[in-house]
């Protein structure tokens, strides 16, 4: 078992997919601050506000109708575990713009993800628009489990071969996501304020801010 994990890790390292200081895991660790929220389909909503032409509010039923995307990526947690070839399905932010469902004001430069209990995390707009950022409802073909963010979470990871894309650590994907805010100025989120790196590039090991 240990040997198999080590062999898989070595293969990923050879393939250039293991960022410095990371170790391969075959499990799916759970990491967050605070309790796991309850989900109520009747009261849940998803809001888009800030520097948008019109604010949006979708119910759970309406959110299901949005165009869907599937992305396979490697996820890298700042606590040094990496999980490879994870499969996510949900709604891509870029699709929301391209389909005209959300229209940004020209000054918008940052995305603030808002989750239950006031958790936030921030990304530059150009990163949130990449193919490796998804608003995910499903993991490996199944709805998210409560501890991994059911019913909706943001996900950011590395798409193998797409070294043109920026990849931050996994905390930049908020679980139990409830809304997106677009801003002109950057605004460090929960872990960023706690001392984690604002950009968090996995290849440069941008773990802590200082």
Ligand X SMILES: Nc1nc2c(c(=O)[nH]1)N[C@H]1C(S)=C(S)[C@@H](COP(=O)(O)O)O[C@H]1N2
Evaluate whether 28 touches 148 at the Cβ level (below 8 Å): yes
Q: How far is the CB of 154 from ligand X (least distance, A)?
A: 8
Evaluate whether 168 touches 113 at the Cβ level (below 8 Å): no
Spatial separation of the C-alpha atoms in residues 114 and 125, rounded to whole Å: 15
Instruction: Closer to ligand X by CB, 17 or 153: give it.
Output: 153
Among 18, 115, 123, 135, interactor with ligand X by CB under 6 A: 115
Among 119, 139, 150, 171, interactor with Mo ion by CB under 5 A: 171
What is the contact mask toward ligand X in residues 69 to 98, using x (rule: CB under 6 A)? --------x---------------------
Looking only at residues 3 through 42 of this chain, which bind ligand X when binding is defined by CB under 6 A?
Answer: 29-33
User: Which position has the token pair 């870029």?
Assistant: 94
Stretch that binds ligand X, among 15-23, 65-73, 93-101, 168-176 (CB under 6 A): 168-176
Evaluate whether 194 touches 159 at the Cβ level (below 8 Å): no
Q: Which of Mo ion, ligand X, none interacts with 150 (beta carbon under 5 to 8 A by kind)?
A: none
Looking only at residues 35 through 74 of this chain, which bind ligand X when binding is defined by CB under 6 A?
Answer: none
Q: How far is the CB of 15 from Mo ion (least distance, A)?
A: 24
148: contact with ligand X by CB under 6 A: yes
What is the contact mask toward ligand X in residues 170 to 199, using x (rule: CB under 6 A)? xx-xxxx--------------x--------
**Residues of the shown chain interacting with ligand X in the complex, contacts defined by CB under 6 A:** 29-33, 77, 115, 119, 148, 170-171, 173-176, 191
Tell me which residues touch Mo ion (CB under 5 A): 31, 78, 171
């Amino acid at each position: 078992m240990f040997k198999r994990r080590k062999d898989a890790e070595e293969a990923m390292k050879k393939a250039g997919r293991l960022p410095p200081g990371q170790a391969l895991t075959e499990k799916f660790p759970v990491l967050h601050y605070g309790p796991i929220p309850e989900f109520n389909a009747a009261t849940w909503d998803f809001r888009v506000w800030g520097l948008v032409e019109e604010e949006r509010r979708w119910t759970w039923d309406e959110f299901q109708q949005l165009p869907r995307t599937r992305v396979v990526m490697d996820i890298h947690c700042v606590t040094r575990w990496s999980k490879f070839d994870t499969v996510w399905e949900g709604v891509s932010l870029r699709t929301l713009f391209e389909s005209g469902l959300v229209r940004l004001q020209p000054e918008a430069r940052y995305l603030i993800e808002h989750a239950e209990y006031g958790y936030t995390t921030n990304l530059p707009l150009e990163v949130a628009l990449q193919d490796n950022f998804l608003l995910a409802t499903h993991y490996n073909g199944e709805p998210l489990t409560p501890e991994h963010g059911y019913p909706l979470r943001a996900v950011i990871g590395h798409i193998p071969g797409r070294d043109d894309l920026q990849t931050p650590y996994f905390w930049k994907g908020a679980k139990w996501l409830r809304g997106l805010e677009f801003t002109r100025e950057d605004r460090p989120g929960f872990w960023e304020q706690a001392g984690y790196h604002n950009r968090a590039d996995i290849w440069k090991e941008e773990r802590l801010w200082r």
